[in-house]
Amino acid sequence: MEIARPVIVREVWAHNLEKEFALIRVALPGCRIAAIDTEFPGHIFKSQVDGHLIAHLPPAETYELMKSNIDALEIIQ
């Protein structure tokens, strides 16, 4: 049985971004899952199917829609 490792939450700001990315690069080979929470200022691309929420789209369409918005917008957090 594998022993669970503790979850580590780090605060990353402009002043420590490079240092934190370096720590992430070192840690990744030993991790099965890594998550980075980000925020974007909304969306400019919407589903072409009227009335469909993104949660109701097929996974491939959800990915493409989210990727289009992320590629077009600046990260804010």
- Among 59, 40, 57, 60, residue whose Cα is nearest residue 49: 57
pLDDT reported for residue 52:
60
pLDDT reported for residue 26:
92
Q: Which residues of 25-51 are buried (b: 16+ CB within 10 A; e: fewer)?
A: eeeeeeeeeeeeeeeeeeeeeeeeeee
- Domain map of the chain by residue range? 14-72
Res. 56 pLDDT band, cuts 50 70 90:
confident
Residue-wise pLDDT tens digits, 1-41: 677 778 888 888 889 999 999 998 998 898 887 778 888 88
pLDDT reported for residue 8:
80
- What's this model's pTM, rounded to 2 decimal places? 0.53
pLDDT at 68 over 80: yes
